[in-house]
Chain A
Amino acid sequence: MKKIYVREEWCLGCHLCEYYCANANLGGGNMAKALKGRPVHPRIRVEDDGKISFAVACRHCDEPLCRKGCIAGAISVADGVVCIDREKCVGCYTCILSCPYGAVLPAEDGHAVQKCELCIQTAGGSPACAEHCPNRAIVFEEGGASA
Chain B
Amino acid sequence: MDLYVHPLFEVVRNEKKCVACRACERQCSNCVHAYNPDTGEMEADDSKCVNCHRCVSLCPTKALKIILTDHCFRPNANWPGENINEVYKQANSGGVLLSSMGTPKPHPVYFDRILLNASQVTNPPIDPLREPMETRVFLGKKSQKLERNAEGQLVDNLTPQIPLTMPLLFSAMSFGSISYNAHASLARAAAALGICYNTGEGGLHADFYPYGPHTIVQVASGRFGVHGDYLMAGAAVEIKMGQGAKPGIGGHLPGHKIAGDVARTRMIPPGSDAISPAPHHDIYSIEDLRQLVYSLKAATGNQKPIIVKIAAVHNVAAIASGVARSGADIIAIDGFRGGTGAAPTRIRDHVGIPIELALASVDARLREEGIRDDVSVIAGGSIRSSADWIKAIALGADACYIATGALLALGCHLCRQCHTGLCNWGIATQRPDLVKRLNPEIGAERLVNLVHAWQHELKEVMGGMGINSVEALRGNRLMLRGVAMTQEELDILGIKHAGV
Contact = CB atoms under 8 A, between A and B. Distances in A.
Given A14-B23, A136-B442, A31 B58 contact: no
A14 to B, nearest CB: 5
Given A9-B436, A16-B23, A134-B58, A37 B442 contact: no
Contact of A37 (B40, B433, B437): B40
A12 B437 contact: yes
Contact of A35 (B19, B23, B27): B19
Residue with the highest number of chain B CB atoms closer than 10 Å, among A13, A16, A20: A16
The interface centre, meaning the residue of A10, A14, A16, A136 with most chain B CB atoms within 10 A of its CB, is A14
Instruction: Indicate the size class of the contact surface on chain B.
Output: 20 to 34
A20 to B, nearest CB: 6
B441 A136 contact: yes
A103 to B, nearest CB: 21
A32 B64 CA distance: 12
Interface in B17-48: 17-19, 21-23, 26-27, 40
Contact of A32 (B61, B436, B437, B441): B61
Contacts of B58: 14, 16, 134
A15 B18 contact: no
A14 B19 contact: no
A12 B436 contact: yes
A74 B63 CA distance: 39
Nearest to A12: B437
A10 B58 CA distance: 15
B439 interface: yes
Contact of B17 (A9, A23, A32, A134): A32
A146 to B, nearest CB: 9
Interface in A10-38: 10, 12-16, 18-20, 23, 30-32, 35-37
Contacts of A136: 439, 441-442
B21 A16 contact: yes
A95 B57 CA distance: 38
A14 B134 CA distance: 45
Contact of A16 (B18, B60, B63, B437): B60
B contact face: mostly helix, strand, loop, or mixed: loop
A126 interface: no
Contacts of B433: 12, 51
Contacts of A137: 439
A15 B439 contact: no
B21 A135 contact: no
Given A31-B19, A36-B16, A132-B60, A15 B26 contact: yes
Nearest to B59: A16
Given A19-B21, A20-B60, A32-B63, A14 B26 contact: yes
A42 B160 CA distance: 59
Contacts of A20: 60
A23 B21 CA distance: 12
B390 to A, nearest CB: 33
Contacts of A135: 436-437, 439, 442
Contact of B439 (A10, A18, A32, A132): A10
Interface in B409-464: 433, 436-437, 439, 441-442
A40 B19 CA distance: 10
A9 B432 CA distance: 11
Contacts of B22: 15
Residue of A13, A18, A36, A51 with most chain B CB atoms under a 10 A cut-off:
A36
A44 B22 CA distance: 17
Contacts of A134: 57-58, 437
A136 B436 CA distance: 11
B19 A15 contact: no
A137 B40 CA distance: 28
Contacts of A12: 26-27, 433, 436-437
A15 B57 CA distance: 15
A16 B40 CA distance: 18
B63 to A, nearest CB: 7
- Pick the most buried of B17, B63, B439, B442: most chain A CB atoms within 10 A of its CB: B439
A11 to B, nearest CB: 8
B26 A31 contact: no
Contacts of A16: 21, 23, 58, 60
Nearest to A16: B23
B68 to A, nearest CB: 25
A40 B23 CA distance: 14
8 closest A-B pairs (Cβ-Cβ)? A32-B17, A32-B61, A35-B19, A19-B21, A14-B23, A135-B439, A10-B439, A31-B61
Interface of B: 16-19, 21-23, 26-27, 40, 57-58, 60-61, 63, 433, 436-437, 439, 441-442
Given A12-B433, A135-B437, A136-B439, 6 more contacts: A14-B26, A15-B23, A16-B23, A20-B60, A32-B61, A51-B433
